[in-house]
Structure 1
């Protein structure tokens, strides 16, 4: 049976086959905009898909394009949802619907290791979430990512470029100052969160980064681990856990 995982984020779609052993296969991706996905993305999918597991934080129109493409391949689609508890993870939110499914799945993947972890996602937004070694989600933060900060500054002040520059602690050029300020803001938030987590837990949690913008911060966060496809791994675990729960019901 052909089973595929799809992570539809705010700027990219990532997808991979689910292997028989429960692991994910090679990950592929495509950018998207208001009009849909980049040309040719369907060529990476097989002509027939039996089951498609989808996690989406994108808008309804883009999600509909994806679901239509999967239906044309005969896929039985399951949309992942945030749950109060699953497979050892218990979230802090009173209303599960208010915790983005991408954050939930990243936590689900991180919790599988059984250690306290500060999970940091760097995409359109910068998200920070803390779980203890018992799988309890202790809450988190949401802020603009460095790339979104740059874009926002450029929209307000056109002469400030949205990209470019090199990081420096004290920059002597505007482009360098922009990247240093925006990445520095993200680094400061992560480090403060790590210090507060240490105080709360009584031990330093593992720092686990994911998302397309994480690589730029990783070198300046000592001891950080990076898993670029954390949400897809969480989606695979969600599918296994939901299937197991249904079999036991």
Structure 2
């Protein structure tokens, strides 16, 4: 059976074949605009796919564009949704549907990979931070703008401020470095503060796991972090294994 996994975020569309071992294969990133996504999927996918598994936190318009493109190739499409409980993982939210499915799937992947306490940080359009203990209990999280979004908002309100560029330094001597240092530094500080709070809550130090398109930049300033680029796809593969068995 030919099966593919699709992680549709606010910034990127990532996809990977689902292997016979139940794991995500080599991931590829595709153009994200509504007008380009159908052609990109046509070039990336085989002519026919038995089943596609989609996790989406994107806008309704983009989600529909991706679903239309997948319908032309996939015999069946399953859309992942956050569940209050999945195996040993239990979600803290009283209304699980309010927890983004990308966060839910990242928690599934992290717990399946190690089964220990973890602070899971997704760095995309938003910066999301979630704490899960070794028993699979999600203890809640935080949401903030990512450094990329901070730069974009600043540029939108003050076009003279560049949207990219600059290096992280403690005290910058030019605008580009000051922006990079301030926006990256704000995200790093929130992660470090959350890690301190997690230690106090658990009485022990959780593993720090970063994922998402902006995680590589922050990982250089967080030396104890583990970076897993395909964490959401890995979680989607776990979810798909249960779906295919039903």
Q: TM-score normalised by the shorter chain: which range applies?
A: over 0.9
- What is the CA-CA distance between 1:241 and the residue it aligns to? 2.7
C-alpha separation in 2, matches of 1:48 and 1:38: 14
Could you say which residue in structure 2 is the equivalent of 1:42? 42
Alignment of 1:144-163 (within 5 A): 144-163=145-164
Could you say which residue in structure 2 is the equivalent of 1:65? 65
What secondary structure, in the 3-state scheme, does the structure 2 residue paired with 1:50 have? strand
For structure 1, the residue ranges without an aligned partner over 5 or more in a row are: none
Could you say which residue in structure 2 is the equivalent of 1:197? 198
Q: Please, what TM-score do these two structures have when normalized by structure 2?
A: 0.96
Asked if the contact 2:51–2:75 (Cα under 8 Å) also holds between the matched residues in 1, the reply is yes
Name segments (4+ residues, structure 1) moved above 6 Å: none
C-alpha separation in 1, matches of 2:177 and 2:148: 14
- What is the CA-CA distance between 1:87 and the residue it aligns to? 1.7
C-alpha separation in 1, matches of 2:145 and 2:59: 18
C-alpha separation in 1, matches of 2:132 and 2:40: 39
Output the aligned Cα RMSD: 1.2
- What is the CA-CA distance between 1:40 and the residue it aligns to? 3.6
What secondary structure, in the 3-state scheme, does the structure 2 residue paired with 1:32 have? coil
- What is the CA-CA distance between 1:74 and the residue it aligns to? 3.6
What secondary structure, in the 3-state scheme, does the structure 2 residue paired with 1:75 have? strand
Deviates more, 1:117-126 or 1:216-225: 216-225
Alignment of 1:1-249 (within 5 A): 1-33=1-33, 35-37=35-37, 40-112=40-112, 113-244=114-245, 246=246
Q: Please, what TM-score do these two structures have when normalized by structure 1?
A: 0.95
Q: 1:120 to 1:108 in 2, by over 3 A?
A: same
Q: 1:237 to 1:167 in 2, by over 3 A?
A: same
C-alpha separation in 2, matches of 1:169 and 1:37: 40
For structure 2, the residue ranges without an aligned partner over 5 or more in a row are: none
Asked if the contact 2:38–2:66 (Cα under 8 Å) also holds between the matched residues in 1, the reply is no
C-alpha separation in 2, matches of 1:235 and 1:109: 8
The alignment of Structure 1 onto Structure 2 pairs a total of residues equal to: 245
Deviates more, 1:195-204 or 1:58-67: 58-67
C-alpha separation in 2, matches of 1:34 and 1:51: 22
Asked if the contact 1:87–1:241 (Cα under 8 Å) also holds between the matched residues in 2, the reply is no
